[in-house]
Structure 1
Amino acid sequence: MSSNPYNEEALEWIALAEQSGERLDKFITDSIDDAAVSRTQVQDWIKSGAVEVDGKIGKANYKVAEGNRIVLQIPEPADAAILPEAIPLEVIYEDSDLIVINKPRGMVVHPAPGHSSGTLVNALMHHCKDLSGINGMIRPGIVHRIDKDTTGLLMAAKNDLAHISLAEQLKDHTVTRKYIALVHGNLPHDQGTIDAPIGRDANDRKLFTVTDRNSRHAVTHFVVLERLDDYTIVELQLETGRTHQIRVHMKYIGHPLAGDPVYGRNKTVALNGQALHAAVLGFTHPRSGERLQFEVPLPADFEHVLNSLRIR
């Protein structure tokens, strides 16, 4: 594991005119793209000297001004007791550099408040013994995430060489990520692109929404696969990877995911979570240069819902 007290990548923002006058701790809490980060956590980071404003160490009560360059280097936790756990994994591919998993519904990817065990990281630590240390002790090996109740393909790195390569491919949009989803309503177009920035919801910081305020560029492509009365099965391809991106984008265009307890509708389907499956994952192997692509079928509960809709 890395001994660096900070993660390799810093988060950086330039304050906008409408953000002038906000406290620094509130500004960062509203801006950071992770719903698990609380304002108290941000205040602790500021106290530790992890935040700079225009090159100087910031204070929590500093009032942000337009044009301020704010940089956060997230410190690693001092005593992260993340333990290996013998949790069964469906391994799709594995070698000395990386592993590809078919994640089940209900599994959190890495430890977070309220989920200190039973996560994919706990399982990987038992299965792999060694994982890359770039993301620190809480998220060893984790290059990208999918939501707790989203099923499907996820890759993890066993060493830093693999981690850097896979992260760069994600940044350069050369990783293929295709999802299958069941959404409410009948989409008027057979295919399309949703290009809309995503940021925290101003009314509930645990949620994300399409907004121009403290947002990040987000692009999702979709193709209609099948129309089922009041529902549509779509294939979605991510160009960017923001928190809750597909769920937020589909809600934005008026077709939220079926079963989504956060962004969906009250009338829903018999699933414990959103009908979203990471079906295809493709990337270039970090060592061999070979292009790899994997595909896994829908989980049984998702398939059962679709079959029930087809015979209505």
Structure 2
Amino acid sequence: MEFRDFTAGKDDDGRRLDRVLRIFLENLSMGEIYKLLRKGLIKVNNKKAKADTHVSQGDVISIAEFLFNSESKSNVVTAHSPVPSSENLNIVFENEHLLIIDKPYGRSVHGSEKEKDAGLDKEVTAYYEAKSKEEKEKSLSFRPGPLHRLDKNTTGLLVFSKSLEGAHWFSEGIKNHTIHKKYYGIAEGNLAKTEEWEDKLSDSDTTEQGFYTVSQNTSGLLAQTTAKPLAHGKLAGHDITLVEYAIKTGRKHQIRAQSKIHGHPLAGDTAYSGHKDKLLKREYYLQAYSLSFPANPLGLPPEIKIELSSDFLDLLRCCEIKNPGL
């Protein structure tokens, strides 16, 4: 019987065999995987193995070739196959642990069937798998994923994991508040001075424009944001402020919700009391422009920054903000 061989990578090391196979062979149930192991149709280093066997880096996992036969309707295995890398990821930084992109406006991180958007996570996975095969470092069970949230219409720096070490370190940094995130936004009204916002937020019971917003609630989760005015201008005769937001927590819709609560909703953000205007080309203007990191073992610089997008700059000029000093 012929077998197809796969070599376990660094991020497979120490994992149970059934857990590796469950991710690698995503079309099969755990029951089917156990059955294949008992029959010797899946082997480790050319020997039968139990489901609770712990995989080591460099182990060769062999799967019976007939399971990959596309003509079989009952026992088809679709292993993850490398695909061409995306040309539209806008990569800002990349190493073996993390991938940081400049997320475009209107793109969902996880995708939407309704809007026919496959999702940036799938594009990053395709890029990761293609590159891993090219470098012969593909993990059988590890899949990259977003390590924090950005709403569909928020742009800017978005971080994906490329290794377990990178995922664990970044997640701990977010949890312990040692990684700092800053945003630029255009808010309605005249924010005269820097304000420290602390509010408790929770999901609303009703939807706005087809999705659940968040609102102030004494039983909600604490959200902390520093809002610093950078420049002032006029949009259709009304005051607007270019604001730098530094977030200490990462709640759903945090900046958008707190901006509404404190009387300065994002311009155009009608879900949070903002007002539409013909000059606005977006639902709202909010860009994650800076990530700051402590000393780290991942090879990250102290700070990663991007410049404002052209749409953002165009609106600033329309609002007579010619030199915001960014």
Using the size of structure 1 for normalisation, the TM-score is 0.66
301 and 201 in structure 1: CA distance in 2 versus 1, 3 angstrom threshold: same
Is contact 1:133–1:159 with CA below 8 Å preserved after alignment? no
SS of corresponding position for 1:197: strand
* 1:155 Cα deviation from its structure 2 partner: 1.1
User: What's 1:306 paired with?
Assistant: 316
Q: State the alpha-carbon separation in 2 of the partners of residues 260 and 153 from structure 1.
A: 20
Helix, strand or coil for the counterpart of 2:293? strand
- Once the two structures are TM-superposed, the CA of residue 128 in structure 1 deviates from its matched residue by 1.7
Q: Deviations over 1:86-120 (max 9, x none)?
A: 35111111111111111110111123563674311
CA distance in 2, matches of 1:132, 1:115: 31
* Greater mean deviation of Cα atoms: 105-114 or 218-227: 105-114
Q: CA offsets, 1:138-195, max 9 Å, x none?
A: xx421101111111111111011110110000011111211000001112x4101110
Is 1:190 paired with 2:182? no
8 Å contact kept, 1:103–1:154: yes
Question: Shift in Å at residue 225 of structure 1?
Answer: 0.0
| Pair 1:142–1:226, CA change in 2 (3 A) | same
Closer/same/farther in 2, CA of residues 191 and 83 from structure 1, 3 Å limit = farther
CA separation of 1:132 and 1:279: change in aligned 2, threshold 3 A: farther
C-alpha separation in 2, matches of 1:253 and 1:133: 48
2:175 maps to 1:171:
yes
Question: Aligned partners of 1:284, 1:105: CA distance in 2, in Å?
Answer: 29
Code of the residue aligned with 2:171 in structure 1: it is A
Structure 1 unmatched ranges of 5 or more:
5-78
Q: 255, 266, 272: which is aligned to 2:264?
A: 255
SS at match of 2:146: coil
Contact 2:289 2:308 in 1 (8 A): yes
- In the alignment, does 2:150 pair up with 1:146? yes
For 2:291, the equivalent position in structure 1 comes to 281
For 2:230, the equivalent position in structure 1 comes to 225
Give me the whole-angstrom Cα distance separating, in 2, the residues matched to 1:246 and 1:292: 24
**SS class of match (2:272):** coil
Rounded Cα–Cα distance in structure 2 between residues aligned with 1:242 and 1:82: 35
Distance 1:95 1:103 in 2: 18
Alignment-mate amino acid for residue 232 of structure 2: R
Q: Report whether the alignment pairs 1:121 with 2:127.
A: no
Q: How far 1:291 moved relative to its partner?
A: 4.3
Matched, 1:211 2:217: yes
Match of 1:239 among 248, 258, 281: 248
Q: How far apart, CA to CA, are the structure 2 residues paired with 1:260 and 1:132?
A: 41
- Secondary structure in structure 2 of the residue aligned to 1:217: strand
The answer to whether the Cα contact below 8 Å between 2:269 and 2:275 also exists between their aligned partners in 1 is no
Q: Please name the residue that 1:46 is paired with.
A: none
Of the two, which has the highest radius of gyration?
2
Amino-acid identity (%): 28
Q: C-alpha distance in 2, partners of 1:250/1:280? A: 19
Show structure 2 runs of 5+ residues with no match. Answer: 1-11, 21-77, 133-137
3-state SS of the aligned residue for 1:143? coil
Kept in 2, the 8 Å contact 1:132–1:160? The answer is no
Indicate the SS of the match to 2:271: coil
Q: How far 1:266 moved relative to its partner?
A: 3.1
* Partner SS for 2:256: helix
Structure 1 residues 210, 108: CA separation in 2 closer, same or farther (over 3 Å shift)?
Answer: same
Number of aligned residues: 234
Q: Is the 8 A contact 2:233 2:321 kept in 1?
A: no
3-state SS of paired residue (2:150): coil
What is the CA distance between 1:125 and its match in structure 2? 1.2
Cα distance between partner residues in 2 of 1:301 and 1:157: 29
- Contact 1:83/1:122, CA 8 A, preserved across alignment: no
In structure 1, how many angstroms separate the alpha carbons of the residues matched to 2:225 and 2:299? 27
Report the AA paired with residue 228 of structure 1.
G
How far apart in 2 are the matches of 1:196 and 1:133? 43
Q: Superposition RMSD on alpha carbons, in Å?
A: 3.2
Given that residues 198 and 211 in structure 1 are in contact (C-alpha distance below 8 angstroms), is that contact kept between their aligned partners in structure 2?
yes
Q: Tell me if structure 1 keeps the 8 A contact 2:98–2:159.
A: yes
1:292 Cα shift?
Answer: 3.0
Q: Determine the C-alpha separation between the residues in 2 that align with 1:266 and 1:286.
A: 43
